[in-house]
Amino acid sequence: MGLSLWLPGAPVIAALVTLFLPTRAAGLSRLVAGFGFAASLVLAVLAWASYPGAGYAHMNSFSWFTLPNVWLGHNLTIGLSFGVDGLSLPLVTLTAVIALLAVVGVPTPAGGARVYHFWQSLLVAAILGVLTALDLFTFLVALELALFAGFFLIQQFGGPRRRHAAFKFLLYRGFATIGVLVAFVGLAYGLAGLYYQGATVASTPKLPSSVGSLTFSLPTLQQDIGHAAAVFSGARPALFLVLLLAVFIEEAFVPFHTWLPQAHEQADTATNMLMGGMMTKIGAYILLRFGVGMLPDQVHRFSLLLAVFGVINILYGAFAAWVADGWRRLIAFSSISHMGLVLLGISAMNAAGLQGAMFMMVSSGLLTALLFFVSGAMEARTGTSQMGQLGGLSKPMPMLSGFLLFAALGSLGLPLTSGFISELQAFLGAFAGHPYLSLVGALGLVLSATYLLYAIQKTTFGPAVSPAAALTDARPVEYLPLVVLTALVLVVGVYPAVIGGLFGLSAHTLLGIGG
């Protein structure tokens, strides 16, 4: 038995415990949620430390029930299975870190601590579930859970227009889930069809796995579908495009993005950290795991499409962030711009590009969480996140202003932060694949400096706008998220090999070279 089950399992238990807590013990449910995330973090570190270096590890599998004779004589076993590999380990760890920091550093919003931490725990569990799922069913369950948990967090604990934002969130991401579902079922049935063909038509090439049955198992599908490019050609583009549509919605890529800025504008700070930090990386994870991992020929085939959309998102996100009135909207579009670079990196289908995309997921996660945390802390004090109403905050809050500047500098890709090494690798890959498009995308470097420093100048520089006496700098408990996130951004930036080894290996594995 591996420990992967308990990565999402610990916060699920925490969620269940909160249900049985007395309503009035508000602090207790926060504590329980915190313990759940801490347990996940400890397990993630253990899993990382004992990771054998290749393939899936720490696996758990449970079968629940078997549907007999579902299709062409195949049975289908429904169950849950979990495991981690080089791609998911850093992302899992990052999720647990951000979750723990969010629950420790951000006060519980008004409106029911018990309910809030119930859904918060489930959201974290769901994201961890998505990242550890080794089975299509498990993956979908987790994705679905993330959808609902996110919905309720926004809908109940958000700002004045929370209901509108929450429904948009639900409808968009719900649609994405359906896309993922269709693509998954297509993959599974497609492979089952191949097995059937293999059993009846002698000339069919042998597939590496010997399962030979309708299966939802991720490792099996990965192995066999990857090898079946020649025979299973007809449905592959359709499946890939459906999957891609889902990825675009999940990632909030233009033109399927409007749910994200609105959700971020309404959600509370901790939810924003989770949503911006990890939830918006799920789409890229799907693209890597199922697109590059199972349908690499299709990624090659639609490489130009991906690159074009990557560049569009880099620039669109940057321009939209430039005219954003408030920090929340700015961070949302900045995240879209980052993820556009992830798409551009993946489109190149080379090791540097994939590695850069993975780095960018981690980096964007850290920096988005830090940006939301600092701007949220400032908003809690000043009552607004609108740049036009802020100014001169360096005077009353030098520390928070300093961390905001740091997060902005990381976000614009300053060397020795995680942002730079991610951008560098993604562009190294991208220029090898699509030089001219990458050149256009490189404009994003100038634009990100423009919109971030513009916002910084408006917020922290200049004469103080609001009466400074009432504003206090960071409280001791707030230093934990500030310092930890900053340290992680620096560690990845100064010594990128800490995650470079695992990601390099995963990139090679996904591309089918070496590993």
Partner 1 sequence: MTDWVWLVPLLPLAGYVFLLLSGRRTPEAVAAGVSVVLTGISCVLSLVVFFQLGPEPAGGQTWLFHWLTIGSAHVDVGISLTHLNALMLVVVSLVSVLVLLFSQGYMHGDERFSVFYQYLNLFVFSMLGLVISPNLLQLYIFWEMVGLCSYLLVGFWYFKPEAALAAKKSFIVTRIGDTGLFVGMILLFLGTGGSFDFTAIFQAVSAHTLHLGWMGSQGLTTLAALLVFLGAVGKSAQFPLHVWLPDAMEGPTPVSALIHAATMVAAGVYLVARMFPLFQASPPALTTVAWIGGVTALLAALIALTQRDIKRVIAYSTISQLGYMMLALGIGAYALGVFHLFTHAFFKALLFLAAGSVIHAVDTQDLFQMGGLGRKLPITRWSFLAGALALAGIFPFSGFWSKDDILTAAWQRGDMALYWLGLVAAFCTAFYIFRVYFLVFTGQSRDEERTVGAHEGSWVMTVPLVILAALATLAGFVNTPWTGHGLERYLEHDATASAAAATPVQESLPLMVFSVVVGLLGIGLAYLLYGRKSDAPARLAEKLSIPYAISLHKFYLDEVYYHTVVVGGKLVARLVRALDRYLIDGIIEVGARLVGVLGLALKYTQNGQVQAYGVIAAFGLVVVIVVAVLGVGGVL
Site for partner 1 in 73-132 (CB under 8 A): 76, 78, 114-115, 118
The answer to the question of residue 482 lying near partner 1 (CB under 8 A) is no
| Amino acid identity for residue 172 in this structure | Y
Q: What does the alpha-carbon distance between residue 65 and residue 352 come to, in Å, rounded to a whole number?
A: 42
**Chosen residue from 95, 155, 220, 375 binding partner 1 by CB under 8 A:** 155
Q: Please tell me whether residue 350 binds partner 1 under the rule CB under 8 A.
A: yes
135 contacts partner 1 (rule: CB under 8 A) = no
User: Dihedral through CA 463, CA 466, CA 472, CA 474, nearest 10?
Assistant: -70
Enumerate residues 312-331 that contact partner 1 by CB under 8 A.
316, 319-320, 322-323
Which of 25, 31, 45, 141 forms a contact with partner 1 (CB under 8 A)? 141
Tokens encoding 297: 């020929």
Select from 162, 455, 460, 150 the least CA-distant residue to 330. 455
Q: Which stretch binds partner 1 (CB under 8 A): 222-230, 243-251, 366-374, 408-416?
A: 408-416
Of 204-212, 269-277, 371-379, 495-503, which segment contacts partner 1 by CB under 8 A?
495-503
Binding mask 288-317 for partner 1 (x = CB under 8 A): ----------------------------x-
45-64 residues in contact with partner 1 (CB under 8 A) are none
Structural tokens at position 228: 């079946």
* Under rule CB under 8 A, residue 479 binds partner 1: no
Smaller CB distance to partner 1: residue 171 or 380? 171
Say how far apart CA 122 and CA 515 lie, in whole Å: 34
Residues whose CB falls within 8 Å of the CB of residue 444, separated by 6 or more in sequence, listed in order: 314, 315, 318, 337, 340, 341
For 7-128, strand residue ranges (E) read: 57-71, 74-84
Q: Tokens 């961070």 label which residue?
A: 331
Distance CA 172, CA 169 (A): 5
Q: How far apart are CA 126 and CA 109, in angstroms?
A: 21
Q: Which of 53, 304, 497, 512 binds partner 1 (CB under 8 A)?
A: 497
Q: Tell me: does residue 409 bind partner 1 (CB under 8 A).
A: yes
* Beta carbon of residue 263, minimum distance to partner 1 (angstroms, whole number): 13
Using the rule CB under 8 A, is 232 a contact of partner 1? no
* Among 17, 91, 131, 140, interactor with partner 1 by CB under 8 A: 140
Residues 6+ apart with CB under 8 A from 128: 7, 8, 11, 40, 92, 95, 96, 142
Torsion of CA 60, 66, 69, 70, to 10 degrees: -70
Q: In the bound complex, what is the minimum distance in angstroms from residue 383's beta carbon to partner 1?
A: 22
Output 312 or 377, the one with its CB closest to partner 1. Answer: 312
Q: How many CB atoms lie within 10 A of CB 191?
A: 25
- In the complex with partner 1, the residue whose CB is nearer, 42 or 500, is 500
- Does position 415 bind partner 1 by CB under 8 A? yes
- In SS3 terms, 105-119 reads as HCCCCCCCHHHHHHH
Query: Could you give the CA distance from residue 8 to residue 92 in angstroms, rounded to a whole number?
Result: 9
Among 55, 79, 107, 193, binds partner 1 (CB under 8 A): 193
Among 308, 432, 471, 490, binds partner 1 (CB under 8 A): 432
- Residue (53 or 501) nearer to partner 1, CB: 501
How many of the chain's residues bind partner 1 (CB under 8 A)?
A: 85
Pick from 2, 33, 108, 144: which binds partner 1 (CB under 8 A)? Answer: 144
Q: Is the separation of the CB atoms in 126 and 146 below 8 Å?
A: yes
Determine, following the binding rule CB under 8 A, whether residue 171 of this chain makes contact with partner 1: yes
Q: CA-to-CA distance for 437 and 443, rounded, in angstroms?
A: 10
Build a one-symbol-per-residue string for 1-30: x at contacts with partner 1 by CB under 8 A, - elsewhere: ------------------x-----------
Q: Which one of 5-13, 168-176, 365-373, 483-491 is the stretch in contact with partner 1 (CB under 8 A)? A: 168-176
Residue listed under structure tokens 């390099």: 504
State how far the Cα of 416 lies from the Cα of 410, in Å rounded to an integer.
8
**Binding residues for partner 1 restricted to 237-266, rule: CB under 8 A:** 254-255, 257-258
Q: Does 175 bind partner 1 (CB under 8 A)?
A: no
Q: Is 358 in the site for partner 1 (CB under 8 A)?
A: no
CB of 432 to partner 1, least distance (A): 6
Nearer to partner 1, 148 or 479 (CB): 148
The answer, yes or no, to whether the previous bond of 237 is cis (omega within 30 of 0) is: no
CB of 408 to partner 1, least distance (A): 11
Using CB under 8 A, pick the residue from 445, 471, 490, 491 that binds partner 1: 445
* Site stretch for partner 1 (CB under 8 A), options 35-43, 165-173, 270-278, 300-308: 165-173
What are the backbone angles phi and psi of residue 69, rounded to the nearest 5°? 45, 55
Angle, vertex CA 310, rays to CA 309 and CA 315, nearest 5 = 95
By the rule CB under 8 A, 199 interacts with partner 1: no
With tokens 């949503």, the residue in question is: 275
Furthest-apart CA atoms within the chain: distance in Å: 82
Instruction: Choose between 247 and 499: whose C-beta lies nearer to partner 1.
Output: 499
